[in-house]
Amino acid sequence: MPDSVTITDNRTGDSIEIPIVNGGVSSAEWRKLLPNTWFFDPAFVSTAACESAITYLDGDAGILRYRGYPIEQLAEHSTYLEVAYLLTHGELPTPAEYQRWSHEVTFHTFIHENVRKRFLDGFHYDAHPMGMMVSAVAALSTFYLDAKDIADEESRQKQVVRLIAKMPTLAACTYRFSVGMPFLYPDNSLSFTANFLRMMFEPLEHIRWDDPVMARALDVLFILHADHEQNCSTTAMRVVGSSHADPYSACAAACAALYGPRHGGANEAVVRMLHEIGSLENVGPFVESVKAGRGRLQGFGHRVYKNYDPRARIIKRTADEVFEVTGKNPLLDIALKLEEVALSDDYFISRRLYPNVDFYSGLIYQAMGFPIDMFPVLFAIPRTSGWLAHWLELLAQDAKIARPRQLYMGADEREYVPMERRTAAT
Ligand code: ACO
| Residue 347 banded pLDDT, cuts 50, 70, 90 | very high
Report helix, strand or coil for 55: strand
Closest CA to 357 of 321, 309, 302, 297: 309
302 in ligand 1 pocket by Cβ < 6 Å? yes
CA–CA separation, 304 and 309 (whole Å): 9
- In the DSSP assignment, the letter for residue 70 is E
Flag whether 95 is in a domain: no
Contact 357/304 with Cβ under 8 angstroms?
A: no
The reported pLDDT for the residue numbered 216 is: 97
CA–CA separation, 357 and 13 (whole Å): 49
Domain count, the chain: 1
Report helix, strand or coil for 15: strand
On the question of pLDDT at 425 being above 70, the answer is no
Strand 55-58 versus strand 63-66 pairing type:
antiparallel
227 in ligand 1 pocket by Cβ < 6 Å? no
Flag whether 387 is in a domain: no
- In the DSSP assignment, the letter for residue 2 is -
| Residue 303 banded pLDDT, cuts 50, 70, 90 | confident
Flag whether 17 is in a domain: yes
Flag whether 53 is in a domain: yes
| Residue 426 banded pLDDT, cuts 50, 70, 90 | low
Average pLDDT over residues 377-402: 97
Chain-centroid distance of CA 8 in Å reads: 40
The reported pLDDT for the residue numbered 240 is: 98
Report helix, strand or coil for 277: helix
354 in ligand 1 pocket by Cβ < 6 Å? no
Flag whether 37 is in a domain: yes
Residues 84-96 have pLDDT tens digits of: 999 999 999 999 9
The reported pLDDT for the residue numbered 382 is: 98
Report helix, strand or coil for 80: helix
Contact 377/133 with Cβ under 8 angstroms?
A: yes
Residue nearest to atom 32 of ligand 1 (CA): 302
User: Mind giving me the DSSP string for 152-166?
Assistant: -HHHHHHHHHHHHHH
Gap from CA of 231 to ligand 1 centroid (Å):
15
Torsion angles phi and psi, residue 342, rounded to 5: -65, -40
Residues constituting the chain = 426
Gap from CA of 68 to ligand 1 centroid (Å):
28
Chain-centroid distance of CA 383 in Å reads: 5
Flag whether 358 is in a domain: no
Identify the helix (H) or strand (E) that includes residue 8: strand 4-8
The reported pLDDT for the residue numbered 251 is: 98
* Active-site residue flag, 358: yes
What residues contact 373, with CB distance under 8 A and at least 6 apart? 128, 129, 130, 178
User: Which domain range does residue 40 map to?
Assistant: 4-58
108 in ligand 1 pocket by Cβ < 6 Å? no
Q: Which residues, listed in sequence order, are joined to residue 56 by a DSSP beta bridge? A: 65
Alpha-helical segments (H) within 301-411: 310-326, 332-343, 346-350, 358-368, 375-396
311 in ligand 1 pocket by Cβ < 6 Å? no
User: What is the CB neighbour count within 10 angstroms for residue 328?
Assistant: 14
Residues 232-275 have pLDDT tens digits of: 999 999 999 999 999 999 999 999 999 988 888 888 889 999 99
* Active-site residue flag, 244: no
Residues 16-75 have pLDDT tens digits of: 999 999 999 999 999 999 999 999 999 999 999 999 999 999 999 999 999 999 999 999
Closest CA to 55 of 228, 189, 254: 228
Q: Which atom of ligand 1 lies nearest, measured to the CA of 304?
A: 29
Report helix, strand or coil for 141: coil
Flag whether 19 is in a domain: yes
* Active-site residue flag, 302: yes
Flag whether 308 is in a domain: no
Residues 122-167 have pLDDT tens digits of: 999 999 999 999 999 999 999 999 999 999 999 999 999 999 999 9
Q: Which of 89, 112, 128, 263 is catalytic?
A: 263
